[in-house]
Amino acid sequence: MDCSTDLDHPIGYTWSKEGGLVPDRSTMEGPTLTIPDLIPEDSGIYVCTATNPSRSVDIPTILTVTGVVPSFTQTPASYMTLPTLPDSYHALDIQISFKPEDKNGLILYNGQKRDGSGDFFSFGLASGVPQFKFDVGSGLVAIKADRPVEIGKWSTVTLSRDKVGGSMKVNGQGPYTGTLRGKYDGLDLIDPLYVGGVPNFGQIHRQAGYSKGFVGCVSELVISGKKQLLLRDSQTSRGISTCDTCAGISCLNGGICQEGLTSRGYKCKWI
């Protein structure tokens, strides 16, 4: 970002960010501020203060970061991988926001063995209805919502598990619950966490019940309280494009739409 001013030289320059801090990794050379490896949190209003011996002026610049929300098209296959779900043996805490373009598809999957046997966890849509499933070796627990989500609309789902019990909330509705009935209560996961689909549906647990991946956008994934930077943090990415979450969005009072890893995929910023 450049700070353009008609002040007479000599001029000194400083940069600040409204409502936050200029990233530590940024560098400033004369009137230019450079921020490498942009992330969604870098977006915002940056203010250059230019000062000479007689006066000082503030010059705002809006930084928008695009291409941060992944879109899964499944043409022919789309998925990404993240590290295995952490600390999931007895507990699970996930929040995910997504906008589906198809009523059926696997959104999250983590298994124990590459041949589909053993323990597993899955979340996806069946006829538009959110389904949260897991098996720790004591039989399948299948938790379903009582209504479908809207196609083409953003939804937020929270998934949790504490030893024998599991629960799911969909857009604040619920909780929908399920309980283990066997003697085992530990979820053993080894494979990566798959988002949006998997490389081979013949190698996932048969009781997951999916044969295709999710079609749509995933704007937010929070695991155990930590927000995932999906496109940046993914270990593997196949068939992924970016979701233009600001398309058709008009921010009130002259605000600027900024793509973001939020529950609706964007936020508005104002000067």
Check whether residue 179 and residue 58 sit in a common domain.
no
pLDDT at 123 > cutoff 70: yes
Residue 36's CATH number: 2.60.40.10
Most confident of 16-20, 38-42, 153-157: 153-157
Q: Is residue 117 part of a domain?
A: yes
Check whether residue 119 and residue 40 sit in a common domain.
no
- Split at pLDDT 50, 70, 90, the class of 164 is confident
Q: Is residue 4 part of a domain?
A: no
Whether 255 contacts 269, CB under 8 Å: yes
pLDDT digits (tens, 9 = 90+) for 220-244: 999 999 999 898 889 999 999 999 9
Q: 242 vs 62, 182, 246, CA distance in Å?
A: 21, 43, 12
pLDDT at 199 > cutoff 70: yes
C-alpha–C-alpha distance, residues 271 and 261, integer Å: 21
Average pLDDT across the chain, whole number: 92
pTM above 0.95, yes or no: no
**Which of 47-61, 94-108, 192-206, 244-258 is predicted least confidently?**
244-258
Instruction: Give pLDDT, residue 271.
Output: 60
- Split at pLDDT 50, 70, 90, the class of 170 is very high
Enter the tokens of residue 86. 């952490």
Long-range residue pairs from 243-249, CB within 8 A, at least 24 positions apart, any chain: 243/69, 243/70, 243/71, 243/99, 243/217, 243/219, 244/66, 245/69, 245/217, 245/219
- Split at pLDDT 50, 70, 90, the class of 33 is very high
Instruction: Give pLDDT, residue 66.
Output: 80
Check whether residue 38 and residue 155 sit in a common domain.
no
Domain that holds residue 46: 12-63
- Split at pLDDT 50, 70, 90, the class of 41 is confident
Check whether residue 78 and residue 56 sit in a common domain.
no
Residue 111's CATH number: 2.60.120.200
Check whether residue 108 and residue 212 sit in a common domain.
yes
- Split at pLDDT 50, 70, 90, the class of 13 is very high
Check whether residue 41 and residue 92 sit in a common domain.
no
Check whether residue 154 and residue 29 sit in a common domain.
no
Average of per-residue pLDDT across 14-35:
93
Check whether residue 24 and residue 84 sit in a common domain.
no
Greatest Cα pair distance, the chain, in angstroms, is 79
Check whether residue 53 and residue 155 sit in a common domain.
no
Q: In degrees to the nearest 10, what's the CA dihedral of 202, 204, 208, 213? A: -70
Rounded to a whole number of angstroms, the CA Rg of the chain reads 23
pLDDT at 26 > cutoff 70: yes
Average of per-residue pLDDT across 33-40:
88
Average of per-residue pLDDT across 110-137:
93
Average of per-residue pLDDT across 180-201:
91
Q: Is residue 137 part of a domain?
A: yes
Check whether residue 109 and residue 44 sit in a common domain.
no
pLDDT at 215 > cutoff 90: yes
- Split at pLDDT 50, 70, 90, the class of 257 is confident
